[in-house]
Amino acid sequence: MNTSWQNLISINPDIRFGKPVITGTRICVSDILSWLSTGMSFEEIIEDFPELNKEHILAALAFAANRENITKIIAA
């Protein structure tokens, strides 16, 4: 799995109000993160949403990690 998250996640103002989604779906990165946070396994997510695969879930995690990494609080 060498595909980077940039190739699997897109942002379009006309899809889910511009939230980051798995390209070609209407499934938001935040949806995947929420499912994982409730304890769903990769296998359970893929079973419920067969349009997803392990690579998509890992891309959502990588996207979130990248966003967290670039978030900074600037003192006034």
pLDDT tens-digit profile of 23-46? 999 999 999 999 999 999 999 999
The pLDDT of residue 4 is 86
Has residue 62 been placed in a domain? yes
Has residue 4 been placed in a domain? no
Termini Cα distance of the chain: 42
pLDDT, tens digit, for every residue of 43-72? 999 999 999 999 999 999 999 998 887 777
User: CA–CA separation, 59 vs 22, rounded Å?
Assistant: 8
The pLDDT of residue 1 is 46
Return the CATH number at 46. Answer: 1.10.10.10
Domain count, the chain: 1
Minimal CA–CA distance to 25: which of 57, 67, 62, 72? 57
49 CB-contact burial (10 Å; exposed 0-12 / middle 13-18 / buried 19+): middle
Has residue 3 been placed in a domain? no
Has residue 2 been placed in a domain? no
Has residue 1 been placed in a domain? no
Residue type for 28, please? Answer: C
User: Which domain range does residue 49 map to?
Assistant: 9-72
Percent of the chain past pLDDT 70, that is, above it, reads: 96
